């Protein structure tokens, strides 16, 4: 099962940057001290984890914004 201490930070960051075409590698490095490969891996995992929680009913959909964006990130 996927879980990371900064899942929400990564999801928020991705949703913030999505309308701008996504973050540049230097933005990711500054924010999380990881490279783009690790960022994309964590982002996909975090999005899938949160979507699974919604499907299982262990999270309330009102807690999440941008569900269509979240689905696209997964």
Residues 6+ apart with CB under 8 A from 12: none
Q: How far is CA 37 from CA 33, 43, 51, in A?
A: 12, 10, 21
pLDDT digits (tens, 9 = 90+) for 1-46: 444 557 789 988 998 998 899 999 999 999 999 999 999 999 999 8
* DSSP reduced 3-state for 51: helix
Q: Map out the domains of the chain as residue ranges.
A: 7-73
Nearest to 66 by CA among 4, 10, 12: 12
For the entire predicted model, the pTM comes to: 0.72
Q: Token pair 């899938």 is at which residue?
A: 48
């Amino acid at each position: 099962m996927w879980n990371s201490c900064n899942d929400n930070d990564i999801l928020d960051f991705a949703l913030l940057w999505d309308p701008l075409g996504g973050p540049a590698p230097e933005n990711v490095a500054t924010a999380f001290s990881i490279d783009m490969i690790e960022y994309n891996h964590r982002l996909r995992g975090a999005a899938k984890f949160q979507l699974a929680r919604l499907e299982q009913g262990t999270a309330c959909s009102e807690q999440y914004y941008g569900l269509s964006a979240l689905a696209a990130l997964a």
